[in-house]
Chain A
Amino acid sequence: MKKTNLFKKGLFLVLSFCFALSVSAQQKTISGTVTSQTDGEALPGVNVIVKGTNSGTSTDFDGNYSINVSDTNATLVFSYIGYVTKEMKVSGNTLNVVLAEDLAALEEVVVVGYGSRKKSDLTGAVSSVNSEELTAFPVLDAAQALQGRAAGVVVQSNNGGEPGAPINIQIRGNTSINASSSPLIVVDGFVGATFPQPNDIQSIEVLKDASATAIYGSRGSNGVVLVTTKKGRSGALSIEINSNYSVQNTSNELDLLDANQFAAYQQAINPAYVQGPANTDWQDLLYRTGSIQNHQASFSGGTDKVNFYASANYFKQDGVLINSEFERFTFLSNIDAQVTDKLKLGINVFGSRGAENGVPTQSTGETANGGGDDVVSGSFRFAPDLGVLDENGLNTINGVGDDIDNPVAVATEGVNEVKADEYRANLYANYDIIENLAFKTTFGFSTTNETAGLFRPSTLITTAGGNVGGRAAIANLKETNIISENYLTYNTALGKGQLTLLAGYSYQKETRELFAAGAQTFTSDSFSYRNLSGGAVQLIPTSSLVESEIQSQFGRINYDYDDKYLFTATVRRDGASNFAANEKIAIFPSAAFGWKISNESFLKDNETISNLKLRASYGVTGNQAISPFQSLARFDNLYAVNNGQTINAVTPDQPANPDLKWETSNQTNLGLDIGLFNNKISLSLDYYNIDTEDLILADNTQAQFLGFLTPRSLRNIGEVNNKGFEINLNTRNISNQDFSWTTDFNLAINRNEVVALGGDIDLFLDASPGYFNLPRTHLLREGEVLGAFWGYDYQGVYQGGDLPEGTALLPGGEAGDQLFTDVDGSGDISPSDQQIIGDPTPDFTFGFTNNFSYKNFDLNIFFQGVQGGDIMNLTAIQLFNGDSNATTDILNSWTPTNTNTNIPRARLRGKEISSRFVEDGSYIRLKNIALGYTLPSEVVEKLGMQNVRLSLSAQNLFTITNYSGLDPEVSYFGSGGGSSSDANTTNGFDFGNYPNVRSVNFSVNLKF
């Protein structure tokens, strides 16, 4: 966008000379400066004309103008492309004008794959998010800032408010079952990069339909996120300092029993229970006031030949759970040089070091330790009548249920560190071979080095895996990525239209090297994970090397006829090493058509409809889905012992599968863009249908007696469908000199359905903690949503006497126990009575932003929410189970004298999944409210600065929801711990998340 602005400025300077010639020199002279409202900078080349005359001028490089008027009541009209035209009455001799940017600017240029287009010429579905939205409040990761900003883009933390938690992005639903549904991230042309700092990002484009993503071929089916970082601009050195500080608290805590209530409750279950000596509020001990500080300095500037942008950033978060923190340093530098008229060279360099010090949350729920490796669920489960230490000064172990260590000991004595370094460099050369024909080549290299260390001292009994005298492990992952992309762009007029051709070649290679080792039974707890040889028992180390290559050819044709009809066609041919022997090459075509109806003669001068465009596209994209070496016949090592020694042993792992291929998405998109009243109202509507076929699934029809270690071969047998509707509404409600008000609203509906699973079978998944012993929590069944909840249908409390029609009890049930629907009519409840009891898919998701500005104040109010979608409250299952502490709801449990209740009697019971724990996950959240103040330019100038902005904001100030758990943004994936594929199919479960936070933030922005 900045590049085009410069171009426009230049063009208008030239044009304005023409006007200058016609100026007649007489009467009163008015002079002043025109500046931009956005950044307070002078605007050169602004057209200034006297209304009703053809006399005019334009502003110079410093935004100054001077014009003669004959009438002292004259009105001056200030116009500038990309800005809202302003009319001002003359008074006095000086008239300074501030122009507001035209927010609905259809001339905006957006980045697309291997190029850019005018927004008005887009034929695909592309959402843009600008830097103001990305930096509205402090976030760890720019991905987080996308939440609620673009229709059809669902963003969720993998683990609540955990410092350093990974952020999942999903565009237009889950198009896979086993493969990742995460989009491809492209940063300044580097495919597969990670997000830079939000403050360094100029804009983010989200490519959603196949017409936009098919140029990324076998990696395009989950959508593509294009990130453009800030570039320097010619002119004096500009220094910008952004600093903010946030204070955070948990947004919610559970209302648990205190020691006396707890003892009474346990005595109702087990009369022999003896109350413990303490009264501990474990949540109180675990939570603290957290903070985030984020400081960034950036430098930019340049000459007419060389521009640069460089920034350094420091981010530090102390999480709301004790002992959890994250710290990161980042730098980014962009240098562009116009070496000759035809040759432009540039380099983009990025580096970061992150250090996370965590506490275990989101229980992996290993049965062996009773799931007690998680301090959040531990704080709910642990007996409140015990203290942190027992009378012998040792860490307490839970007095009821499974033996788990107390959560304070786990949080303070364990070590969970992750240190990650990432460096990335991307060089490019752009050469104009002849007029209209340009060649661009980029060469990039990135490397990530991540070390994860874990230590459980001997003082933690169950979390260390028993009386083993401490356990430590260290793992190192090194990833390198080399990418080379080379393409020609040709541009020419053809007939009444404009033709653009693109053709290119790309090569990319990724390498992953992994090493992990561990030991236990240490002579001292002081070693942490830094002295594995100090462990008497060495655990089995692992190492691996995985390489994959992809080489591709790609091309695109754009033809814009008469600024009315837009055609786009793309194709990509991908060859990938991880594809199976018989399917090495994949081809992904797409085509799109756009019709600018508003440019037709019958609408051209319509005053109401300022823009009307129809878009239609169809394309084929892929998801690589096959991991390297997955199609090859393999042996695998396995652990074997003979004569007391561990020995080498192999066993058949899987047969060769030479026909395994990528997953293919066929996507249709229909879009309509409407602009009304000079684009004061702009509305985009998109409908899409994505049929994804050849999904790679484990073949459940493969007999297990074949004896392969991986008992089910992968085959291309699944199909899912996603269809949806997206609305993006943008209005400029009020816009005048002192006050402006704009509104953005987006809403997305997505429906998914499992179409085929390779046979009329039910696939059951498990997303509960291992110690729940529940093998079936989610269902995949043809004709149903991806991952419906599976369990018993709760029918209330059994009051004794005859069983209500169609219901039954679990074996041994009596009055006060749970009644469930007796699906098979057998008279008692067994797994054959389980059925679909919930659907985690939301009806729709939305974001709603209002921006107000009054003089130097600005106010941003951002709501975000989800309507519909069920949550399975696993926390409640645990807490009503009798073998742990409980919420105070348990005080209303059924007794012979308290029969009018939905809560069964207090007793020990299995952890059954039932509709009793399915809750509505709808919510509306005030994600951000921010008040900003920009110091008046007079004051700022006195301070020797260009701009000073202060802002105070609050995040997650309130949430409206009926969900009884801590937070409706849930993301528990069971023992697997949230691998990318789990996020496709096992959504909607809540257990032991790092809590979400409420924060208040103060920030300062200084510009020199």
Chain B
Amino acid sequence: MKTTHKFLMLLIGLSIIGCSDLEEQPVGLLAPEGFFQTTRDIQTAVNGSYGHLTHEDFWGRKMSLTILLRSDMVDIGDPTTSARRIEHNEFNVPADNGMIPDNWRRSFQTIAAANQAIAGAAQVDAPDEQKNPIVAQSYFLRAFTYFHLVRQFGDIPYLSEPVTDVQAAGSISKTSAADVYANIIADLEFAKQWLPNTQPARSIPAKSAAHSYLALVHLTMGNFQEAYNEAKGVIDNEGAYDLALEADFQDLFDATTIDGSKEPIFSLDFNGFRDGDAGQDYQPALTGIRSDEQYGIGGGWSVAVPSLEVYNTWDDRDYRKAVSFDPTGVFDGNVEPFTNYRNFNSRAVNRPHIAKYTRRTGVTANNNGRASQHNYSMMRYAEVLLIAAEALNEISPNSTEAEGYVNRVRDRARNGGTFPEDVSGLSQDDFRDMVLDERRLELAFEFKRWYDIARRRLGSEVFSASGLEGAKPNFDPNQDYLFPLPADELVRNPNLLPQNPGY
């Protein structure tokens, strides 16, 4: 009997384990509590925004393709592509258009990451001189993202702190566009104060980035004096900021040389890898020629293709045209002109395709050049020169200074040739038209044109029958300079009503 009891006790002892407090102790998961200890942790939180910006929802495809297609420089190629894309190209965007919700959500995720880094920095026990240069990146990134949102949607909900109370934060109303702009400027001023003059890479904003974006924001708001002042400030600090125009225009679109270039001021960096749709760059696929073999990336999808007019009206002597377009492809081993593209793939289209993103993708982790190694310039020095020229023309026409800025850009565009010629002696109006057209060509397919059309209210002109893409009868200047707020977001939060006009 005694042995039995021993057995039994042993078994019970072995068996009754536990009496746990049932608290969860996650390993390998990140919790907000206790995360912010050092300045390195601030940088890790700052980096969240970089990750969001290169996601498919934003620059990978959804946001970038939307503003590309809404411009007069890029049309739909493959007519069977998704309706949500065609709707933007044709300006018949419904409030539940499929491009907008992902862009909306991802933009606010970028902002939430920035808000978290900014709030987290306050918890780190370090002097401002150490913390602020790091967290100033988040101020810049928050301004950068709100700047896209305010230009796309106008009045928007504005959050500047991490959300802890979902119900309360989720029922706020819209902030007026004017107030959003004021906040953007405040963030950029903070960033301009604290960011260092230069960074290890142009994908990390330096003082030059905040400075340049202040110029662009003021230009967009029509504050030409401030726009000029800021742009001039950048130009005056060209040396300190380590800025210059890249000698060969082609090198700006070469993933293997762009890292060493002094022209980009702020860029989004893709490195050829991806995690699902995070870090996957679809621009080469969307703009590439279907079944084209010339770059060994398996061709593209012929989705975003300029109208023939864009190609035909561009002077052949302009070196930038050759860099920007592929008028030939390679099929079955033979070079073929664009008039034959469709012979090799029924979804291709017989027009020259954009070459900026397919010609030199670097190593890519995926077919069609998806997940390229491109760095996309959000702002490059040429644009700062053109901002200075445009703004100066508004406040003080006929200055040789403004002409000088344009001519620096044109000089590089000639690439040793004779065209485009230097400008001089234009009237204020002609100079304005010239500089906007210079932006159109210099920054062709670089996601700038739609915003130029919107801020200068050019829609009725460029989408008329004489426009590059022919008449866009659906274009309505009272509606189409803004996107609709995502329809389902309005259902979730009626405080965001009213919907933008016309939707």
In the complex, which residues of chain A have a beta carbon less than 8 angstroms from the beta carbon of B365?
Answer: 468, 520, 537
Select which of B16, B44, B166, B366 is within 8 A of A507 by beta carbon: B16
Q: Which of A717-733 contact B (CB under 8 A)?
A: none
Q: List 26 A-B contacts (CB under 8 A).
A: A339-B7, A340-B1, A342-B4, A345-B7, A345-B11, A429-B12, A465-B366, A484-B18, A485-B15, A486-B16, A543-B28, A549-B20, A577-B20, A577-B23, A584-B22, A635-B30, A640-B278, A646-B273, A646-B279, A651-B48, A651-B51, A652-B32, A702-B166, A705-B156, A707-B110, A707-B112
Select which of B1, B82, B259, B492 is within 8 A of A704 by beta carbon: B492
Distance in angstroms between the alpha carbons of A636 and B18 in the assembled complex: 31
B111 in the interface, Cβ–Cβ < 8 Å?
yes
Output the nearest chain A residue to B164 by Cβ-Cβ distance: A655
A703 in the interface, Cβ–Cβ < 8 Å?
yes
Distance in angstroms between the alpha carbons of A761 and B492 in the assembled complex: 10
A704 near B22 (CB under 8 angstroms)? no
B166 near A713 (CB under 8 angstroms)? yes
Question: Which of B101-109, B185-193, B393-401, B417-425 contacts its partner?
Answer: B101-109
In the complex, which residues of chain A have a beta carbon less than 8 angstroms from the beta carbon of B162?
Answer: 652
**Given A340-B1, A431-B8, A468-B366: A642 and B269 interface contact (C-beta under 8 Å):** yes
**Given A549-B22, A629-B24, A629-B29: A465 and B16 interface contact (C-beta under 8 Å):** no
Interface residues of A (CB under 8 A from B): 270, 339-340, 342-343, 345, 368, 427, 429, 431, 441-443, 461-462, 465-468, 482, 484-486, 505, 507, 509, 520, 537, 539-540, 543-545, 547, 549, 551, 575-579, 584, 628-629, 632-653, 655, 700-709, 711, 713, 761, 773, 775, 908, 910
Ranked 7 nearest A-B pairs via Cβ: A466-B367, A707-B112, A640-B51, A507-B18, A649-B47, A643-B201, A651-B48
A647 near B24 (CB under 8 angstroms)? no
- Closest Cβ of chain B: how far from A692's Cβ, in Å? 24
Contact mask for chain B residues 20-44; partner A; CB cutoff 8 A; 1 contact, 0 none: 1011111111111101000000001
In the complex, which residues of chain A have a beta carbon less than 8 angstroms from the beta carbon of B47?
Answer: 640, 642, 647-650
B157 in the interface, Cβ–Cβ < 8 Å?
yes
Distance in angstroms between the alpha carbons of A579 and B22 in the assembled complex: 9
Distance in angstroms between the alpha carbons of A117 and B279 in the assembled complex: 61
Output the nearest chain A residue to B493 by Cβ-Cβ distance: A703
B18 near A706 (CB under 8 angstroms)? no
A650 near B366 (CB under 8 angstroms)? no
Distance in angstroms between the alpha carbons of A545 and B201 in the assembled complex: 36
> Residue among B14, B44, B98, B492 with the most chain A CB within 10 A?
B492
**Given A441-B12, A442-B15, A707-B112: A648 and B44 interface contact (C-beta under 8 Å):** yes
Select which of A640, A643, A706, A910 is within 8 A of B279 by beta carbon: A640
B465 in the interface, Cβ–Cβ < 8 Å?
no
Select which of B16, B35, B51, B492 is within 8 A of A638 by beta carbon: B51
Distance in angstroms between the alpha carbons of A443 and B10 in the assembled complex: 12
B236 in the interface, Cβ–Cβ < 8 Å?
no
In the complex, which residues of chain A have a beta carbon less than 8 angstroms from the beta carbon of B33?
Answer: 633
- Apart from A443-B11, A547-B27, A650-B116, what are 15 other A-B pairs with CB-CB below 8 Å? A429-B11, A431-B4, A441-B15, A466-B370, A549-B20, A635-B30, A643-B204, A650-B35, A650-B47, A650-B113, A703-B170, A705-B489, A706-B112, A761-B491, A775-B98
- Closest Cβ of chain A: how far from B450's Cβ, in Å? 22
- Closest Cβ of chain B: how far from A72's Cβ, in Å? 58
B298 near A640 (CB under 8 angstroms)? no
Query: How many chain-B residues does the 8 Å CB contact rule pick out?
Result: 91
Output the nearest chain B residue to A444 by Cβ-Cβ distance: B15
B66 in the interface, Cβ–Cβ < 8 Å?
no
Output the nearest chain B residue to A647 by Cβ-Cβ distance: B47
B426 in the interface, Cβ–Cβ < 8 Å?
no
**Given A629-B26, A642-B50: A484 and B17 interface contact (C-beta under 8 Å):** yes
Distance in angstroms between the alpha carbons of A625 and B22 in the assembled complex: 17
Distance in angstroms between the alpha carbons of A465 and B259 in the assembled complex: 27
**Given A441-B15, A577-B20, A634-B31: A647 and B367 interface contact (C-beta under 8 Å):** no
B275 in the interface, Cβ–Cβ < 8 Å?
yes
B28 near A638 (CB under 8 angstroms)? no
Distance in angstroms between the alpha carbons of A649 and B19 in the assembled complex: 38
In the complex, which residues of chain A have a beta carbon less than 8 angstroms from the beta carbon of B269?
Answer: 641-644
In the complex, which residues of chain A have a beta carbon less than 8 angstroms from the beta carbon of B20?
Answer: 507, 509, 549, 551, 577
Distance in angstroms between the alpha carbons of A520 and B156 in the assembled complex: 43
Distance in angstroms between the alpha carbons of A461 and B366 in the assembled complex: 11
Distance in angstroms between the alpha carbons of A696 and B245 in the assembled complex: 56
Distance in angstroms between the alpha carbons of A316 and B23 in the assembled complex: 44
B409 in the interface, Cβ–Cβ < 8 Å?
no
In the complex, which residues of chain B have a beta carbon less than 8 angstroms from the beta carbon of A443?
Answer: 11, 14-15
Select which of B15, B30, B170, B259 is within 8 A of A634 by beta carbon: B30
In the complex, which residues of chain A have a beta carbon less than 8 angstroms from the beta carbon of B259?
Answer: 643-644
In the complex, which residues of chain B have a beta carbon less than 8 angstroms from the beta carbon of A578?
Answer: 24
Distance in angstroms between the alpha carbons of A773 and B84 in the assembled complex: 11
Q: Which of B91-121 contact A (CB under 8 A)?
A: 98, 101, 104-105, 108-113, 115-116
A339 near B4 (CB under 8 angstroms)? yes
A468 near B367 (CB under 8 angstroms)? yes
Distance in angstroms between the alpha carbons of A547 and B29 in the assembled complex: 12
Distance in angstroms between the alpha carbons of A441 and B7 in the assembled complex: 12
Output the nearest chain B residue to A464 by Cβ-Cβ distance: B367
A704 near B108 (CB under 8 angstroms)? yes
Distance in angstroms between the alpha carbons of A642 and B47 in the assembled complex: 9
